A and B are shown apart, each in its own frame.
Chain A
Amino acid sequence: MSEMRDSVVRPPTLAQAGVEAEQEEDERQRHLPTWFLILWRNMRSRFGMFLLLAFILVAIFAPLLAPYNPRDNTFMPTQLPSTAHWLGTTQSGEDVLSQLIYGARTSLLVGILAGAGATLIGLVIGLIAGYVGGLTDEILSFFINLALVIPALPLMIVIAAYSPVKGIWVIIIVIIVTGWAWGARVKRAQMVTLRERDYITAAVFAGDSMPRIVFREILPNMMSLVIAAYIGAASAAIGAEASLEFIGVGDPTVISWGTMSYWANNSGALLTGQWLWIAAPGLALALLITSLALINFGIDALSNPKLREE
């Protein structure tokens, strides 16, 4: 934590900017947590936060923003872009733009839930392995390494293909089950170094219980790591959902950027010249994941002062 405070040393120019500005700055620092200030100062993560906010707003206000109901299939099918349908219509006569806007909901939902699930499992396994050590650590580390080397997408495909039910929830569960290992590995490593610190030894001697030590002493010191892992897991989940839907092992009736690409590809959008139908959802996906990656630039800087921008 002390490292993090050091970094918010104000630039020398601020000292000349008058007492008033300095007080204001102090005021802001008291109200905003340090991590937020570091993120805000990093231009990349500031841009990423605005971009992510834009996607969240689109998802929330989708009914107001979308020109039509995304399932309304009463239009002429396979139309090229026009003023009535900016991105054209699908093979069954739905408005592509409206589907694109509603698709943000699915991607964000998957990112939030699957990211949280994978982070939680990774956190629990990583903390136990790192804290308990010994044989437990050996066994858990084996499972972490195993899950890391088994190719994720083929594994997800096989599990999803055997699933007797189809749907977005199956996809979310599959992503959680296959995507926790990276976070677990990072947290285990952090736990191992934290466990040796003096204040933890002091807490052990003071007779604190294990949950208290883990939740009150250790977890607050790895928050930046947990947030970074969460953002990483959410990006991976969003990308995986789209890929699985594109391959067709998901539920093709869900409105998502992955199913849009699936239908566009399978109804010959490229042959009819409707390339925007394919370009738009993939691009939206890339922009959403980019916004998360940009935020993670700032979070990397939280845990690694050498990467901070001067």
Chain B
Amino acid sequence: MVYFLRRIAFFIVTLWAAITLNFIIPRIQGGDPAQAIVQSFAGQGQGVDPAQVQAVRLMLGIPNENLFQQYIDYLKAIGHGQFGLSYTYFPYTVTHMILQALPWTLVLIGVTHILSFFIGTAVGAWAAWRRNQLFDSLATSISTFLGTLPFFWTGLMLLYFLAFKLGWFPDSGGYSGHESIAFSFSFLKDAAYHAILPALALLITGPMGWIMGMRNNMIQILGDDYTRLARAKGLSEARIAMMYGARNAILPNVTAFAISLGGIMGGSIIVEQIFNYPGMGRLFFESIGNHDYPLMQTIFLFITVGVLTANFLADMLYGVLDPRVRRGGR
């Protein structure tokens, strides 16, 4: 029970820290983004709506105001779910833009991350089981190299060869222009077709970390005394590999699964931009280029809170799966 209470406390404090970090970053580096935004509103010939200026102030603060007061206002705005207006997509709110993009990224990242996990874990377990044999050397050497390829490289190469040269897949977007977003078979088929290349770009490097992690864990466990006892008892090889080796080696990967979500989120920022995919990553990328600070910060907050929540759930699951953690306190 202590374990679960500790994790809940850690989650709440990290959540607060992430929200506060999001408040501090724009204020720590000098300059006045709020001023710049208000000016560029005026520059575009649009009337400056006082509510809009207020929204910018809430997100970014105006230097002359008391910092503590700014912080209170900021927390209040977040509590009410008010993240202000996007200034690139005026008059839409930041929340509106993010909610439109969110499902695309959730599906893209969710599917590729889970696939990576299973592929990598299976290959890693097999490599550990056949340690120092041909499959092991091939798997570790190839995955070491593939795992270091940058996301922008795999993305651009897939785009060039499979979309531009061979024309097998669409080169941009999340669905064809003639389709409308609906929960219909033809739309889902079209969306899946568009998602193949971005998913592939993430999947080429995705499983590589799992291969090495699983292999090293399992080698450790296969050398442990209880595995030797299992051998001595004459248990079947398959039973030792699955029930002793793989089952225990996979445990640390549960927490790693959540931590690495942050990494794949970084990858999707780049890959979505390359394939012009209508998700959070591309929106984030665009908000940087357009200096759309309210949008950028809110997306950062969403990403952070998402990853924190995933980690919290993984910690909880870990406590249920591994009684040692529950009893040991930490």
Contact = CB atoms under 8 A, between A and B. Distances in A.
A293 B153 CA distance: 19
Q: Which of B17, B152, B157, B274 lies at the interface centre, i.e. has the most chain A CB atoms within 10 A of its CB?
A: B152
Interface string B1-39: 000000000100110011001000110011101000000
B224 to A, nearest CB: 10
A287 B145 CA distance: 7
Contact of B25 (A162, A261, A304): A162
Contact of A142 (B10, B265, B308): B10
A246 B270 contact: yes
Contacts of A247: 269-270, 273, 285, 288
A154 B265 contact: yes
Nearest to B153: A282
Contact of B157 (A146, A278, A294, A307): A278
Contacts of B147: 293
Interface in A161-184: 161-164
B148 to A, nearest CB: 4
A242 B156 CA distance: 14
B148 A162 contact: no
A162 B219 contact: no
Dominant SS at the A interface? helix
A261 B153 CA distance: 8
A151 B17 CA distance: 14
Contacts of B273: 247
Contacts of A242: 150, 152
A299 to B, nearest CB: 13
Contacts of A261: 150, 152-153, 156
Interface string A247-270: 111000000000001000100001
Contact of A151 (B26, B144, B262): B262
B265 A286 contact: no
A149 B14 contact: yes
A20 interface: no
Contacts of B160: 270, 275, 278
A293 B148 contact: yes
Interface residues of A, number: 50
B25 A154 contact: no
A310 B150 contact: no
Nearest to B163: A270
A157 B266 CA distance: 10
Nearest to B281: A154
B220 interface: yes
Nearest to B284: A154
Given A149-B259, A154-B266, A247-B288, A161 B153 contact: no
A73 interface: no
A38 to B, nearest CB: 17
B269 A162 contact: no
Contacts of B121: none
Contact of B300 (A146, A155, A164): A155
B86 interface: no
Contacts of B300: 154-155, 158
Interface of B: 10, 13-14, 17-18, 21, 25-26, 29-31, 33, 132, 141, 144-145, 147-153, 156-157, 159-161, 164, 216, 219-220, 223, 259, 261-263, 265-266, 269-270, 273-274, 284-285, 288-289, 291, 296-297, 299-300, 303-304, 307-308, 311
Considering the complex of A and B, which 9 residue pairs feature the smallest CB-CB distances, nearest first? Answer: A153-B266, A282-B153, A151-B262, A289-B148, A286-B148, A164-B31, A286-B149, A246-B152, A270-B160
Interface of A: 44, 142, 145-146, 148-155, 157-159, 161-164, 235, 239, 242-243, 246-249, 261, 265, 270-271, 275, 278-279, 282-283, 285-287, 289-290, 293-294, 297, 300, 304, 306-307, 309-310
